[in-house]
Structure 1
């Protein structure tokens, strides 16, 4: 892909972003604040997903692997 095509594609994607978020009607300082807040929110979501999703996946795998295995030992102590 040539450089002009990449530039046109990125320009079109940015224009679509402006249209979807309706931020093309904002003043430049308002666009900066809006984009900063949006970037911070996306960064926090990605960080949270990076930290907590592996933990939840591991716990879910442990839970579901425990369902298939039979109970090897009795949990009730036999008193004689």
Structure 2
């Protein structure tokens, strides 16, 4: 799994835990709908750190809390 797959999985995991659809996350994080939707569908590669920060805040998490999950261990290296 690469970092983008892990971020997508983590977002979906957190939405499931809260009983939210992606639209609820978009509303709470104040990120443009196409930005989140296209990333979640794999249409765009990597979200910016600013976007991840807003998403984390939407979940009421810090960046550290967002990334503090075993899914981020042993990731594949990203090729340039």
TM over 0.5: no
- TM-score of the two chains, using structure 1 as the length reference: 0.30
Relative contact order higher in (CA < 8 Å, ≥ 6 apart): 2
TM-score (norm 2): 0.30
Question: Quick check: which has more Rg, 1 or 2?
Answer: 1
